[in-house]
Copies of this chain bind each other. A is one copy, B any other.
Amino acid sequence: MTQLAILGTGLIGASIGLGLKAAEGTEDIEIVGFDTSREREREAERRKAIDRRGSSLRQTVQGAALVVISTPVLATREVMEEIASSLTVGTIVTDTCSTKAQVMSWAEELLPNSVNFVGSHPMAGKTEFGPAAAEATLFQDARWVVVPSRSASSDAVETVSGLATALGAKPMFMDAAEHDAYAAAISHLPMFAASAIFRLVRDSEAWPELSLLAASGFKDTTRLAGTDELMSHDIAVTNRDQVVHWLQRLRGAIYDLEDMITDPDRDEEFLRHLAQLNIDHIAFHDGQIGRVEIDQKGSGIPVPGMTDMLLGGALSERLRQMTEDSADVDEKTRQRRRLFGRR
């Protein structure tokens, strides 16, 4: 039996366990889990996300070929300190933290040279936390960022990307600084923006009435305000500059929106802006941005003129409509162009 240790049997740790149990060719892997919360440990065991519970952190990693640390960021440091002297020579260690620069430097500082550290960050999750919310398919089709340490063997890198693949995710290699800059924009920014929106409306005296009126729009936009506070706190602390940078820029974007709304001279620009966002949003949801990039082997630059060929029907139609609209808009009359609009 190959032994795999999962340290932290919350949503992510338990989902990794469940996913591995469901994957083919993993019959020979024994998963040992440990968590400071006995309740989380037992729930993970009950759900068969782990085969058995370790008696301590150190005992859990002894003899493990692969150790997955799946805790909030700041706790990862303590886990590394605690397990360092108990790791077997050649053991591969990975983590699942949402920020990577800090984690990579802790690994270099705290783990012995005899083990291989490869950082990782599965770009998947949900608001609910704990092993009860875990799913074997949580990582299906998600990107899984892999950040090899300088000293990691190619075997170790392959093992961690193999773990991602076994769970249905797509490995994506990058360095820690690059990851943290990207994650700040695509993950941490929406999380803290959702917090700010939710906080603002909750703080209103009319919150009891407002909460009754809330439809799916408010719920979806503010869903991430329900993120576990240790997770979000630790992300902010370990990616402070990037997070603050994006929040500052968001204030700038909101200010510009206010200006477009209030300045009558910008009304046409405002409508075009919203229309373009809509087009880009459809392209994003159809996966066109990523697909274009992949089709062109990662160049990331769509070939001009190929838009119609590459893009789906809905988007082409939208682009066509917008061009027609633009022609209308350019007319000096600036009359409303239709009674019913596009809805």
Q: Which residues of A contact B (CB under 8 A)?
A: 7-8, 10-12, 35-37, 40, 57, 70-72, 74-75, 78-79, 82, 123-126, 129-130, 142-143, 145, 172, 181-183, 185-187, 189-202, 204, 206-234, 236-237, 240, 243-244, 246-251, 253-255, 257-258, 261-262, 267, 270-271, 273-275, 277-278, 280-282, 284-285, 289-290, 292-293, 300-301, 336, 338-343
What chain B residues lie within 8 Å of A281 (beta carbons)?
A: 198, 222, 225-226
Q: By the criterion CB–CB under 8 Å, are A196 and B254 in contact?
A: yes
Query: Among the listed B208, B217, B223, which residue makes an inter-chain contact with A300, where contact means beta carbons less than 8 Å apart?
Result: B208
Q: How far is the CA of A37 from the CA of B182 in the complex (A)?
A: 42
Q: Which of A11, A243, A254, A339 has the most CB of B within 10 A?
A: A339
Q: How far is the CA of A339 from the CA of B13 in the complex (A)?
A: 14
- Contacts A145-B213, A210-B185; is A258 near B244 (CB within 8 Å)? yes
Q: By the criterion CB–CB under 8 Å, are A251 and B248 in contact?
A: no
What chain B residues lie within 8 Å of A194 (beta carbons)?
A: 221
Q: How far is the CA of A252 from the CA of B243 in the complex (A)?
A: 16
Query: Among the listed B199, B221, B248, B282, which residue makes an inter-chain contact with A221, where contact means beta carbons less than 8 Å apart?
Result: B221
- Contacts A204-B185, A253-B200, A271-B229; is A340 near B282 (CB within 8 Å)? no
Least Cβ–Cβ distance between A134 and chain B, in angstroms: 11
What chain B residues lie within 8 Å of A8 (beta carbons)?
A: 340, 343
Q: Which of A40, A210, A234 has the most CB of B within 10 A?
A: A210
Least Cβ–Cβ distance between A178 and chain B, in angstroms: 9
Q: How far is the CA of A79 from the CA of B339 in the complex (A)?
A: 7
Q: By the criterion CB–CB under 8 Å, are A340 and B185 in contact?
A: no
Q: By the criterion CB–CB under 8 Å, are A182 and B213 in contact?
A: yes
